[in-house]
Structures are given as structure tokens and as C-alpha cells.
């Protein structure tokens, strides 16, 4: 019994030290009225019972019950060290379907009023890697009487023809196309108000280059082309004395077209301006090929299966 009393004394001393340490560390986390019935507690935590009247601490064991009239305190056990990382879990279930893809470049599309016969223009993927992205504008005409037209009738209205700091595109053509004529190529076509004295308020300014190499993509600088490959449509620009830059006349370089428009400008109408920008084919020969990377000023237009993407 003496040994037991000594042990209790030792326990109370240890307990007093534990309570003091827990209070300092903020470790006393709960105080509940004791009951006589058994109360399940967390295994491993240390519990004490304190009687507020007698100031006695009477229990120190984790799963025991405090005497009635005393309060029970918990001193949480010290956390252990972090365990090793567990194995990788199984693959989760498939997510819900995503949203439908959206078309880019809402103002670009087939210019139906300029399509004739079986002329066809289609944005699609390309079997020969194009200069930009994975797709291109595919153009087809089945016969000399067909014409295809794809472009933008909204975004360029009113811009000055002379303001086009760069003009170019990349073309994919074939040996079959090239066998039909020396200039069986798709065109860059601007519908413009020429504002030339006496010309009326409409003409097309068309770039019609010589054939590029078959079965490969070729980048063409239309503005810098030193060959006379630009021409204006309409009777006014194709009759003497204004046929210099006529599409059915001798044709011009782009610099010569600008010089002609400036020299013959009607000041009352302002400078020549754009209505539309288009890629066209025909009417001239059967053709099956493609265009990509249209350059206009400081912007490049990437033709792709889901639209036209402009980058500066």
C-alpha cells in the first residue's frame, strides 16, 4: 500500500506537470461534466479529472470515467511524424463531354454573289502540311466557266488601297493545274471604289501570278512581285487610254497600280478604298489547289478547318 500511495503521489506530480504544460501550450482543449457511465474516448489521449471544490485531480487514465462533481480534461496526444506517400490511385472515370468547337473569324466565308457554276471554296485540313496550322482554304473549279470566291465583305470596308503595307499568300498547286496554262493560279482580289475620274464607283483589283511549283506550298509576295500581275476589271480600265493597268490590258505591278490610281484620282471622292478582300479562282481554267497564310498589311490570316485566325 505504501508503494501504491507513493505511486499515486508520483502520478499526481506528473499529472500536475502535464496539465501545466498543456495549459501553456494551449493543449487543454475541452472540459466536460463528468458522468458515472463509461464514455468512449480517443485511445492514446491523456485525460484528467479535476474537482473544482477540492482542487483534487483524481484520474489520469485515458478510458476511465471521472467521479461525479469533477470535470474531465483531455490533453491530446502528440502527433506522429508524416508517413510515406501512398501508391498512385486508379484512373478516374471519364469526364462529361466538352462544348462544341466554335468558328473563328465570323466575317470570313464564301462570297456567294461571286460564285459561278461549280466553283468551290472550303476550309479544311490539308494532306500536305501548310505553312500555318493544319488546314487551308481549298479551291476547286471543274471547268473554265466556274468561279470560286471566299473572303471578307465586312472588315476592310473603307480602308485605303494605298494603306496595304504588305500583300501576299501561300499557294499549293499541282502539275495538272500547271499543264493547263502558265498562270492557272488562285487570285487575291480586292473589290474597290477606284475613285478615278470617270471610272464609276466599282472595280476589282486582281492579282493573277504565274504558276508556282507543283505539289508544294509556295509563299508569294504579291505586293513586291516585279512582274506585271495586277489588273483592274471593267470596261473603263480595259479601254484606251486607261488600259495600262487593265486585267485584260497590259497589267501592272502593285506599285504601278497605286501610281495610276493616284495620278487619275478624283479629289472630290477621296483616295481609292476597299470594299472587300477575297481569294478567287476563275473564270479561266479548271483548278484544284489551296491557299493559306494570307498577308494583308501587318496581319496574317491563317485558314484552318474551323475558321480564319488573324495574327499580327
What's the closest the beta carbon of residue 197 comes to Ca ion, in angstroms? Answer: 10
Cβ proximity to Ca ion: between 27 and 133 the closer is 133
The whole-angstrom separation of Cα 4 and Cα 34 is 25
Beta partners for residue 307, in sequence order: 104, 304
Cβ proximity to Ca ion: between 195 and 243 the closer is 195
Listed in sequence order, the residues at least 6 apart from 290 whose beta carbon sits closer than 8 Å to its beta carbon are 126, 130, 136, 137, 138, 139, 171, 172
What's the closest the beta carbon of residue 120 comes to Ca ion, in angstroms? Answer: 18
Cβ proximity to Ca ion: between 6 and 104 the closer is 104
Residue 114 has what DSSP assignment?
G
The whole-angstrom separation of Cα 124 and Cα 116 is 21
Give the CA dihedral 116, 240, 166, 175, nearest 10 degrees: 50
Place of cell 486508379: 90
The whole-angstrom separation of Cα 45 and Cα 47 is 7
What's the closest the beta carbon of residue 202 comes to Ca ion, in angstroms? Answer: 8
The whole-angstrom separation of Cα 151 and Cα 109 is 6
Cβ proximity to Ca ion: between 51 and 218 the closer is 218
What's the closest the beta carbon of residue 109 comes to Ca ion, in angstroms? Answer: 16
- Reference 47, options 68, 63, 36; nearest CA is 63
For residue 15, the surrounding DSSP H or E stretch is helix 2-24
Place of cell 486585267: 247
Q: Which residue is nearest to Ca ion (CB)?
A: 133
Report in angstroms the alpha-carbon separations of 22 from 9, 18, 27, 44, 80. 20, 6, 4, 15, 17
Cβ proximity to Ca ion: between 219 and 250 the closer is 219
Cβ proximity to Ca ion: between 165 and 201 the closer is 201
Q: What are phi and psi of 256, to 5 degrees?
A: -70, -35
What's the closest the beta carbon of residue 293 comes to Ca ion, in angstroms? Answer: 7
What's the closest the beta carbon of residue 200 comes to Ca ion, in angstroms? Answer: 8
What's the closest the beta carbon of residue 201 comes to Ca ion, in angstroms? Answer: 4
What's the closest the beta carbon of residue 136 comes to Ca ion, in angstroms? Answer: 5
Cβ proximity to Ca ion: between 44 and 129 the closer is 129
Cβ proximity to Ca ion: between 118 and 269 the closer is 269
Residues lying near Ca ion in the complex (CB under 5 A) are found at 130, 132-133, 135, 193, 195, 201, 269, 292, 302-304
Beta partners for residue 33, in sequence order: 71
Amino acid at each position: 500500500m505504501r508503494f501504491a500511495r507513493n505511486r499515486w503521489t508520483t502520478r499526481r506530480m506528473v499529472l500536475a506537470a502535464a496539465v501545466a504544460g498543456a495549459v501553456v501550450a494551449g493543449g487543454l482543449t475541452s472540459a466536460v461534466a463528468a458522468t458515472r457511465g463509461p464514455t468512449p474516448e480517443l485511445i492514446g489521449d491523456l485525460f484528467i479529472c479535476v474537482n473544482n471544490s477540492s482542487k483534487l485531480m483524481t484520474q489520469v487514465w485515458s478510458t476511465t470515467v471521472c467521479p461525479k462533481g469533477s470535470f474531465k480534461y483531455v490533453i491530446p496526444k502528440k502527433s506522429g511524424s508524416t508517413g510515406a506517400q501512398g501508391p498512385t490511385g486508379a484512373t478516374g472515370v471519364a469526364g462529361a463531354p466538352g462544348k462544341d468547337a466554335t468558328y473563328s473569324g465570323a466575317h470570313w466565308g464564301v462570297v456567294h454573289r461571286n460564285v459561278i457554276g461549280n466553283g468551290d471554296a472550303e476550309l479544311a485540313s490539308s494532306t500536305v502540311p501548310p505553312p500555318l496550322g493544319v488546314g487551308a482554304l481549298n479551291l476547286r473549279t471543274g471547268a473554265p466557266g466556274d468561279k470560286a470566291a471566299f473572303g471578307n465583305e465586312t472588315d476592310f470596308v473603307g480602308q485605303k488601297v494605298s494603306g496595304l503595307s504588305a500583300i501576299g499568300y501561300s499557294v499549293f498547286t499541282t502539275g495538272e493545274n500547271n499543264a493547263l496554262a502558265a498562270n492557272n493560279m488562285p487570285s487575291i482580289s480586292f473589290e474597290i471604289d477606284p475613285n478615278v475620274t470617270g471610272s464609276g464607283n466599282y472595280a476589282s483589283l486582281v492579282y493573277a501570278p504565274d504558276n508556282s511549283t507543283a505539289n508544294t506550298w509556295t509563299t508569294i509576295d504579291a505586293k513586291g512581285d516585279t512582274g506585271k500581275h495586277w489588273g483592274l476589271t471593267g470596261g473603263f480600265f480595259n479601254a484606251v487610254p486607261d488600259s495600262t493597268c487593265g486585267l485584260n490590258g497590259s497589267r501592272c505591278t502593285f506599285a504601278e497600280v497605286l501610281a495610276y490610281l493616284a495620278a487619275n484620282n478624283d479629289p472630290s471622292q477621296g483616295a481609292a478604298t476597299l470594299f472587300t478582300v477575297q481569294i478567287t479562282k476563275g473564270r479561266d481554267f479548271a483548278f484544284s489547289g489551296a491557299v493559306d497564310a494570307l498577308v494583308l498589311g501587318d496581319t496574317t490570316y491563317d485558314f484552318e478547318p474551323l475558321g480564319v485566325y488573324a495574327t499580327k
